[in-house]
Structure 1
Amino acid sequence: MLRVLAAAALLWVLLAPQASAAAPVTFGVRPATETAPDNRNNFSYGATPGAVVRDFVAVSNVSETPIGLKVYASDAFNTPEGGYDLLASGKQPTDIGAWTKTRDHQVSVPGRSVVIVPFTVTIPADATPGDHAGGIVAALTTEQTNAQGQKVSVEQRVGARIYLRVAGELRPELSVQDLTASYDGQFFGRGDATVTYTVKNTGNVRLGATQAVKVSTPWGSSVDSDPVETLPELLPGGAVKKSTVVHGLLPAGWLTANVHLVPIPPAGTSDPRVPDVEQDSSFAAVPWVVLAALVFIAVLIVPARIRKRRRVKPSTEEVPESVTA
């Protein structure tokens, strides 16, 4: 199955050709009014527990061929790389995807046409405060032939994001976890340190962040890492693993890796000020490969010298004294 592509704006996706010689099919989804697509970039709501939100999604077919599509909602999550994705087809949502119901679960869209589908978001009375994220999906299932000549069903999906903020106490918070660093260098001269860590959203609102990584020496100087890209958005509970390299470090014994995050709230929100996040981790700046080679040489040489000394023993025989008549 192809993965969901969740669009932040109007999303038109050119799908792969059918197994036959049929022309490619193009379709997309976007926010809409009751009568036509509108200019919203995504579905974004603020509501209290127990509220019901009503809205519309436009399902568009810009090909000449009529198509039949499934339309449904799902929960969002962060990929290991930090991207925005929706649950795989067939996996049941438990959050906003379960709260969102489309009027039509199957739609037939004529060529060069748009179908407007109403939907509702029913927020449970016990919904947790903060941000909930998901998407509305349109899916096309086709039969194709794989490389082995077998017929397989392929589901191709596109989606539009849904953001919901439930009223209540907001806790914007990021943390740096599992920070480690390793040194690679020569016995004389400078080397590099690879710094690896995980950024996790431990609060209840989505956050981005700028990142800075440096390594400090025992005498107070520091060297910055290669540039680290800005995290665009981490959903509550989402995490992403990062790695960067700091060049030009002397093998100074013990060094300290530092990760500094400046959280960024979502555009258009008035979240409480989020303090910067810092985490340190000390590591040994020792050229391990060189030291291992020296130890190996020592293991070979020292026993050989001991054996040589044991073979060359000094004479302990007494010399007889001379006897004079």
Structure 2
Amino acid sequence: MRKTVAALLAALASGLFAAPAHAAGGDVTWTVRTASNSYGDDRSSYSYAINPGSTIKDAMVVANRGKDPLNLAVYTADGFTTEAGQLDLRTRDTKALAIGAWAKPTGATIAVAPGRTVQVPFAVTVPANATPGDYVGGILTSLTQASSTETINVERRLGIRIKLRVGGDLAPALSVEGLAVDWNGSANPIADGDATVSYTIHNTGNASLSADQAVRIEGAFGMFHADAAKIAAPPELLPGESWKVSVPVHGVAAAVDLTATVTLTPKITDASGTTTSLPAVTESTHFRAVSWTLILLIVLAIALIVVAVLLRRRNRARRRAREDDRVAKAVADALREKADTTA
């Protein structure tokens, strides 16, 4: 049985794949672009505002830049954000739940002659009970070829992003989850240390969001504060997605009890491409920042003080014992002399 390796041949995050897709040997080349129609010319991707129960019709243009005929599969898929922060599309064997199920091309395959283009119509029908909010997916062309080793098949994919904003109440929301701090002090008891603040950004709303981030560490009444350097914005997260963040903060004082605060300013982009900042979201946690070198020095100082006190008490007790012995001896000598005189 041959395994299938899927290769996405351009950046879905930018929508249109401007560069043609090349097979390993350079013998297959094709491009895709949006069709020019009432939705516009030279679009970088498909973007629609649509109400539940409605249908939108559009088309993709596929061009064969090679010298041989092309037989391509055409399908749609749901989108997701990869661990590298890039938009990708699910494979054909993954069950579609949103755009991958709602968008349908007119046919499952197309044939494109060398030097020719083919227009691929498709329709997006949003169910009447669809949840309002943002959805991202794409329409793809695909070519599966045997590799040179004859042991695997390689699927080469080229497609265009589809973004939907389904009408209804839009409720954008981000949360900070799993906030934790790891503090590392210096061997120098009076030097500051470094902290690593870790947390997860979770898109708990129904709109695609990015955010500006800020991290501050401070003691009581704002003392000993230290701010993280500028933090890169997370990728635009789809509803329900999460993004792990780890931020270094330098110059953190060993002030025992400190507070780390994460501030997110969500950013939402409308259909026209305008980005708007939403009210900030904050989350805080307390943590301990203790210099163990300083603690050791304090313990040693206390131990020295205790030893000094004990030695002083012991010496005082010895002096008292010697004085008691001297007095007792003097009394005994006096009594002895008196007895001798009486006799």
Query: TM-score over 0.5 for the alignment?
Result: yes
1:103 to 1:24, Cα distance in 2 relative to 1, 3 A: same
Instruction: Please show how residues 262-281 of structure 1 align to structure 2 within 5 Å.
Output: 262-267=265-270, 268=272, 274-281=278-285
- Looking at secondary structure, tell me which structure has more helix per residue: 2
- Given candidates 211, 216, 219, the residue that maps to 1:217 is 219
Contact 1:196 1:244 in 2 (8 A): yes
Do residues 130 (structure 1) and 133 (structure 2) align? yes
In 1, the alpha carbon distance for the partners of 2:118 and 2:58 equals 14
In 2, the alpha carbon distance for the partners of 1:9 and 1:123 equals 21
Q: Deviations over 1:167-220 (max 9, x none)?
A: 111101111111111101214412110011111111111111111112112341
SS in 2 for 1:211: strand
Structure 2, unaligned stretches of length 5 or more? Answer: 301-343
1:271 to 1:192, Cα distance in 2 relative to 1, 3 A: closer
Structure 2 match to 1:11 = 17
- Given candidates 90, 99, 104, the residue that maps to 2:102 is 99
Q: Which amino acid aligns with 1:10?
A: L
SS in 2 for 1:97: helix
In 2, the alpha carbon distance for the partners of 1:287 and 1:17 equals 59
TM-score, normalised to structure 2, is: 0.76
190-199 or 226-235, larger mean C-alpha shift: 226-235
The count of aligned residue pairs is 288
- Given candidates 203, 206, 229, the residue that maps to 2:205 is 203
Structure 2 match to 1:47 = 50
- Looking at secondary structure, tell me which structure has more strand per residue: 1
User: Identity over aligned residues, as a percent?
Assistant: 39
85-94 or 59-68, larger mean C-alpha shift: 59-68
Q: Which amino acid aligns with 1:233?
A: E
Instruction: Please show how residues 1-325 of structure 1 align to structure 2 within 5 Å.
Output: 1-4=5-8, 5-13=11-19, 15=21, 17-18=23-24, 22-33=25-36, 38-145=41-148, 149-186=149-186, 187-221=189-223, 222-267=225-270, 268=272, 274-287=278-291
Contact 2:143 2:155 in 1 (8 A): yes
Q: Which amino acid aligns with 1:127?
A: A
44-53 or 55-64, larger mean C-alpha shift: 55-64
1:87 to 1:240, Cα distance in 2 relative to 1, 3 A: same
In 1, the alpha carbon distance for the partners of 2:170 and 2:198 equals 29
Q: Which amino acid aligns with 1:45?
A: Y
Structure 1, unaligned stretches of length 5 or more? Answer: 299-325
Q: Which amino acid aligns with 2:58?
A: D
Contact 1:43 1:163 in 2 (8 A): yes
Contact 1:13 1:26 in 2 (8 A): no
Q: Which amino acid aligns with 1:66?
A: P
In 2, the alpha carbon distance for the partners of 1:24 and 1:258 equals 55
SS in 2 for 1:234: coil
RMSD: 2.8
Which is higher, the Rg of structure 1 or of structure 2?
2
Contact 2:16 2:159 in 1 (8 A): no
